[in-house]
Amino acid sequence: MNPKRGILIAGNWKMHLGPKETAVFVADLGKRRQNAISGQTRAGLQSGKLRAMIIPPALSLPAARASVDTAWPELQIAAQNAHGEKKGAFTGELSGPMLADIGIRHVLLGHSERRQLFGETDTTVRSRLEGLLDQGFEVILCIGETLAERESGDTQAVLLRQLAGALPDSGPSGRFLDGRIVIAYEPVWAIGTGKTATPAQAQEAHAVIRADLQARFGTQAAERTLILYGGSVKPENIKEILTQPDVDGALVGGASLDAASYLALVEAGGQALGHSL
């Protein structure tokens, strides 16, 4: 990580925790954080250099919003997906204005489960991303290779293809520069499998991503963009991952669903930030 960019720890709940469970979980997080989070981490959260985020299912977003406001106001909330159009005949979808209506300003896009199980492609991800950026959202764009792609030596080509397909072309003065795109590198073979990329593998992929951002959008855009690692991150391995220069945080599934574990991940973010100052 780089202290100028800061750190983001995001918990992707996937299809877990309904509205009632969400209210209970967030209240619990709020109570436990008093003891689980150090002064250093609290200062990081207050300054905005460290961001803690949860990504609940759509139906639980209003409950999350209401609970966070009382339990832990600095905790940010993102949606797991959203459509790029503001309204229309899109059964089953969720729009930016609906999210904005309940105070949600962040959206995850292109998670590998959306791509593999629900037919999303770079093209669908890109139209969502462009629409949501236009509406002022911060988006977290997920990319990553499968095991077969890694084993055949195609990791770099896959990442570059996904970035080229999903990110809008924009000149140096374009909207990319306003810092509202976060990239999450999630090797598909590491998601929910207990297999984590080694810190060196994560760094190598993140460096490829940052170099591509630099080539396409310039040094400033590349330097300010947060690149998160995701795939079986847990309190036991996050510290090592965050020591890598181009890893600016983590997107965490399973280990974000336990309050103590999630708080330990946020605390690790605060420690990493503290060490680098």
The site for ligand PGA (CB under 6 A) is made up of 12, 186, 191-192, 230-233, 251-255
Torsion of CA 75, 256, 166, 248, to 10 degrees: 70
In the complex, the smallest distance separating the C-beta of residue 257 from ligand PGA, rounded to whole angstroms, is 9
CB atoms within 10 A of CB 245: 12
3-state DSSP assignment of residue 112: helix
Candidate list 111, 138, 206, 267, residue with the active-site label: 111
Per-residue tokens: 83: 């459509």
Q: In terms of CB distance, is 44 or 110 closer to ligand PGA? A: 110
Query: Which residue, 94, 29, 107, 105, is CA-closest to 67?
Result: 29
Angle in degrees, 0-180, between the axes of helices 61-71 and 19-36, rounded to the nearest 10:
30
Q: Which of 120, 138, 145, 186 is catalytic?
A: 186
β partners of residue 10: 53, 251
Whether 223 is catalytic is: no
Least distance to ligand PGA from the beta carbon of 219, Å? 29
Which tokens hold the place of 242? 């965050």
The rounded distance, in Å, linking the Cα atoms of 21 and 275 is 35
Give 163 or 251: the residue with its C-beta nearer to ligand PGA: 251
| Closer residue to ligand PGA (CB): 95 or 112 | 112
| Rounded Cα gap, residues 151 and 156, in angstroms | 12
Least gap, CB of 113 to ligand PGA (angstroms): 7
Residue nearest to ligand PGA (CB): 253
- 138 classed as catalytic: no
- Give least dist CB 238 to ligand PGA, A: 10
List active site positions: 111, 186
